[in-house]
Amino acid sequence: MKPNLPKTFAELNLIEPLKIALSETGYTKPTPIQAEAIPLLLEGRDLLGCAQTGTGKTAAFALPILHRLVLADQKTTPRHARVLVLTPTRELAIQVHQSFEIYGKNLKLKYAVIFGGVGQSPQVKALSQGVDVLVATPGRLLDLIEQGFVKLSQLEVFVLDEADRMLDMGFVHDINKILKLLPKKRHNLFFSATMPPVIEKLAQSILVNPVRIEVTPVSSTAELIAQNVMFVDRENKRPLLKYILEDKKLSRVIVFSRTKHGANKIVEFLAKFEIIAEAIHGNKSQSARQKALENFKAGKIRVLIATDIAARGIDIDDITHVINYDLPNESESYVHRIGRTARAGASGIAISFCDADEKPFLKDIEKLIGKSIPVIESHPFHSQKVVDARLISSSRAKAIIDGENTLRGGRSSNNRRFPRNNSRPKQTSPKK
């Protein structure tokens, strides 16, 4: 942490009801982003935060926002919101809303959350008298605005959370539409895990003379995460996963699958061996996703199979292992994925399965994180064929893998496989 930054919550001088709520959370000291951002946000500065989930960024913005709302002492009017937090996913919206409820539990403020995929009536009802803090996903927000159930003309604070993921998910037009509805004078906060030029440009169009805070840049993976890779032929990935999960020490595991279909298949396969897992992905209903998450949080199931988008923003402590069943073809997703473990100072383990076609992705990831990931060979499915595989470009690898996924869906007859090198696959014997 930089010198002269507050080292305790007491030094932040937050109003008493917030201090009391904080004391009940069990947090002992501010995280680096909290120590840096809270004093500046209390002054009303616009903020550009380069931080990912897991850094404590929600409290970093929720606490000063709540503090200022109370001091400003404005009344909310029907259908209006004083603060808008836009998030890319429903899960993140729910979590951010919960955080406001926790930190703001001793305040007489109203918090609401709206997202798609569920009926709008309870959301409309929650908004009818106006709210202080509205957490929303862009699509449902615009829907309700168009129907006249929400108005943003009295907004005091605008927070754009996970801006990079918003753009990845195609929300750029929705964001621009929402921006046009906001009053010119407002307090702006902008968070993104990565800052490619397109995000910088969006930030510039929203923020006025912002302070910039960067914590754990995306290219650095947490020191506390032990990262490993296992070379395995594609057809052996499922047995390898079963083999790993048989060890009960893996008590809370997220397995990442590239596709929704793949996630379901993994659940079915593990069920045959009485390893109970649940999948969360975009084809599951909102209630099924919530239920799976709750079961996982409560420890009723120890394995959650997730796709990248569904897992985004999931806030679950004590995840012991992250398993990349498929390696992501965007290196930054790797950093997001493994960031699910080793939260708030705990340690965690990330294991990545890599088949021959995925080797280019592994190379890209190692380039991004600036180190090579140790290979574990001591498992029964270690593949020399993967070790020897000739490296092709990652875009070519992606095309091949996408083609194969299409095939599995039965939509293509082009069954050309990645031309592997000529060495015959060696049968590796189980090692201890």
For ligand AMP, which is the closer residue by CB, 99 or 331? 99
Residue nearest to ligand AMP (CB): 58
CB of 324 to ligand AMP, least distance (A): 21
- DSSP codes, 143-200: HHHHTTS-B-TT--EEEE-SHHHHHHTT-HHHHHHHHHTS-SS-EEEEEES---HHHH
Binding site for ligand AMP (CB under 6 A): 27, 30-31, 34, 53-59, 315, 317, 343-344
Nearest distance, CB of residue 216 and ligand AMP, angstroms: 10
Q: Shortest distance, CB of residue 343 to ligand AMP, whole angstroms?
A: 5
Min. distance of Cβ 38 from ligand AMP in angstroms? 10
Q: Which is nearer to ligand AMP, 208 or 344 (CB)?
A: 344
CA 229 vs CA 237, 262, 346: distances in Å: 12, 20, 21
Spatial distance between the Cα atoms of 18 and 113, rounded to a whole number of angstroms: 21
Which of 54, 88 has the CB closer to ligand AMP?
A: 54
Closest CB to ligand AMP among 17 and 54?
A: 54
Least spacing, CB of residue 9 vs ligand AMP, in Å: 8
Q: Which is nearer to ligand AMP, 229 or 311 (CB)?
A: 311
Other Cβ atoms closer than 10 A to 119: 7
Q: Name every residue whose Cβ is closer than 8 Å to that of residue 267 and which is 6 or more positions away in sequence.
A: 277, 278, 279, 305
Closest separation in Å from C-beta 34 to ligand AMP: 6
CB 349 within 8 A of CB 341: yes
Q: Which is nearer to ligand AMP, 294 or 402 (CB)?
A: 294
C-alpha 23/C-alpha 9 separation (Å) is 9
Single out the residue of 292, 345, 390, 300 nearest to residue 56, CA to CA: 345
Residue closer to ligand AMP (CB basis): 61 or 361: 61
CA torsion, ordered 141, 146, 148, 150, to nearest 10 deg: 20
CB of 166 to ligand AMP, least distance (A): 16
| 324: helix, strand or coil | strand
